Amino acid sequence: MAELTKQQADRLAVTSEMNLRYAYFQADIEFSASGIEREVFRRTPVLDFTFCLLLAAQHVKASEEGTISFTENDMTIKIEPAGETEMSGDRRLAVVRSWDPRVGECTMSELIQGVALFAESGMADILARYPAFEQNPTRSKLEQLRAAL
């Protein structure tokens, strides 16, 4: 994860959600699903990606399409119910990337587990490096979204 400037670090507890989503905490993010190759998104804003993942997972849980978008370009990843529910009751999902015709897949439980892990580990890494993030209201908002999974 890219280090913050001194000015960013000094304002971390009070900076806006928009600043946190788009100007802080850029990192290389790996993404994968069954049937598609693992991808690495370079220097992606971690908190914006986290918000997109959490909101997409909520939509998919409600049997709607969830979309992950990127701030720096017009690429999208759509996650949508697909096929039949497995014997275990776990719903199958399609993972459709706007730049590649190949469709990946996962189950609802795999999606929820992966999103929760990404959100938890990302925030834990930020808090370990920058304890002032604990005081920012955006952290609480992300925690509430993660807890709602």
71-108 residue pLDDT tens: 778 889 999 988 766 666 788 999 999 999 899 999 99
- Give phi and psi for 139, each to the nearest 5: -60, -45
| Measured distance CA(37)–CA(143) in Å, rounded | 30
Is this model's pTM higher than 0.75 or not?
A: yes
Angle at 55 between CA 54 and CA 61, to 5 degrees: 90
pLDDT digits (tens, 9 = 90+) for 38-79: 999 999 999 999 999 999 999 999 889 999 988 778 889 999
The SS3 assignment for 26 reads strand
